[in-house]
Structures are given as structure tokens and as C-alpha cells.
């Protein structure tokens, strides 16, 4: 993971500094760190220097060449071993969940296992481990009552997590993710061209850079909640507006 073209802005760096002063000794964990949003979350966490430790739970190792590399810890993960998850998650105050696959890649059952079972299992382990703030990258249109598998699965996971009793849950619902994927997905690449065009007609509704999702997730973690418990959700357009306005400061 290289820190090429990362855009933070003065608001982000100020918020990170204030968080570190207000809440010293915090540790963050990342789930799904090899995915495109997860990789960006790791970048932003590491550059912020706001956490004493950033633990990435992953099935395959990542390479990180950037600031504060000594704070990055990598651990293997088994999302079906809840007791081990609880032990490994202990001592972390913040969790960033970016787990996800596709039906095309994993089949319907494999998709549900990752995007529901693994997400919910890890969230339960985080709750048992006393994680204070659980942030998750979900999807636009997430709805537990949806007739579509993708949005229904995302909505079910959201609903269960919001009812676990975390002090704070933050849900981020991006539309189409714009990035340079490591994996070549031809249909996705083809689809991005009309999406980019249409997004100019209805700005903020159809697409968002993965870096903007990550920026919003991490910057939001720096803010002090006005109340607890707190369940909050950010739409695609809200994330874009939040990021763009911050860059003007």
C-alpha cells in the first residue's frame, strides 16, 4: 500500500491531532484491509497518526510503505472462530469494517457468508471486546426488506449491528465505487463509463471514489459524538459533500 496522491486537507489533520490529544492511547482495527476501501482506510489511519496501533486482520498479508509503519500490526483471521476474534479484538477502541465480496465472484451463498455472516460475527466479537465505535462500509440502497440479495444482505447486517448495543455505530453507504482495482473486472470497468457521465448530470448520486469513502470514515471517527448511544448513517451524496466542503477550509 503506497501513499500516492492521498488528499487529507487541514480539517482532517486538525481533527486527527485533536482526537489524539482528547483520546490518547486508542487502537484501531481494520477488517477487509485488502479490498479497495479497506486499503484506503489503512492509508488514512496510518497517515493520521491518531492511533497508537492499527491492527489489520487479513487472510493474506499486505505491504505498507508509508508513514508510521511501526504502528501497523497484521494478524491472520478466521471469521468463523468467534472466540478467537474476541481475544484478538480486545484492546481496540475503534473498528473499521470494509468486508465484502460479490455474487459474481463468490456465488450467492459465498456472498451472504462474507457480507452478512462474517460481518455480523466480527461485529459481535467487537461488541464483546468493548469496541467503542464500529464503522462499516455498507452500500447505497441497503434495506433488510429489499427484494434484491445484495441490498437485502447489506440491510440485514446493518440492522443487526445497530441493535448490538455499541456506544456508537457509523454506517457509510456508497454507490458505485470508483477506483483502480487490483482485480480486473471487465464488466465493472465498462459500467464506469456511463456512470461517470450520468454522475455529472446528477452529482453525488451514482458514484464515489474509494479514497473519499475512507477519508469520511476515518475523519468521522475523530469527531466526538454529541450523544451515546449513537447510530448514524451517511449516504453517497453526504459523504461527497462532507469531503468537498472540508477541502475548502
Mind telling me the catalytic residues?
150, 154
115/102 Cα distance (integer angstroms): 9
**Ramachandran class of 195: left when φ > 0, alpha when ψ lies in -120 to 50, beta otherwise:** alpha
Is-contact 219 19, C-beta < 8 A? Answer: no
Among all chains, which residue has been given the C-alpha cell 471469521?
Answer: 79
150/142 Cα distance (integer angstroms): 8
Counting beta carbons within 10 angstroms of the beta carbon of residue 143, is it exposed (0 to 12), middle (13 to 18) or buried (19 or more)? middle
Amino acid at each position: 500500500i503506497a501513499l500516492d496522491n492521498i488528499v487529507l486537507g487541514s480539517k482532517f489533520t486538525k481533527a486527527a491531532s485533536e482526537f489524539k490529544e482528547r483520546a490518547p492511547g486508542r487502537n484501531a482495527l481494520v477488517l477487509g484491509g485488502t479490498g479497495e476501501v479497506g486499503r484506503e482506510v489503512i492509508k488514512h489511519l496510518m497517515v493520521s497518526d491518531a492511533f497508537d496501533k492499527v491492527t489489520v486482520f487479513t487472510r493474506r498479508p499486505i505491504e505498507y510503505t508509508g508513514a508510521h509503519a511501526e504502528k501497523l500490526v497484521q494478524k491472520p483471521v478466521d471469521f468463523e472462530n468467534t472466540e478467537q476474534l474476541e481475544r484478538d479484538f480486545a484492546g481496540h477502541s475503534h473498528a473499521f469494517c470494509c468486508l465484502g465480496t460479490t455474487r459474481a465472484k463468490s456465488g450467492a451463498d459465498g456472498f451472504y457468508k462474507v457480507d452478512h455472516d462474517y460481518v455480523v460475527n466480527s461485529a459481535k466479537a467487537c461488541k464483546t471486546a468493548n469496541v467503542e465505535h464500529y464503522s462499516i462500509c455498507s452500500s447505497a440502497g441497503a434495506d433488510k426488506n429489499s427484494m434484491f440479495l445484495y441490498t437485502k444482505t447489506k440491510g440485514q447486517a446493518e440492522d443487526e449491528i445497530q441493535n448490538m448495543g455499541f456506544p456508537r455505530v457509523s454506517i457509510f453507504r456508497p454507490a458505485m465505487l470508483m477506483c483502480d482495482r487490483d482485480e480486473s473486472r471487465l464488466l465493472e470497468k465498462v459500467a464506469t463509463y456511463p456512470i461517470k457521465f450520468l454522475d455529472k448530470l446528477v452529482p453525488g448520486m451514482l458514484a464515489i471514489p474509494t479514497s473519499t469513502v475512507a477519508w469520511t470514515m476515518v475523519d468521522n471517527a475523530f469527531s466526538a459524538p454529541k450523544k451515546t448511544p449513537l447510530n448514524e448513517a451517511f449516504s453517497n451524496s453526504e459523504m461527497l459533500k462532507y469531503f468537498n466542503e472540508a477541502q475548502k477550509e
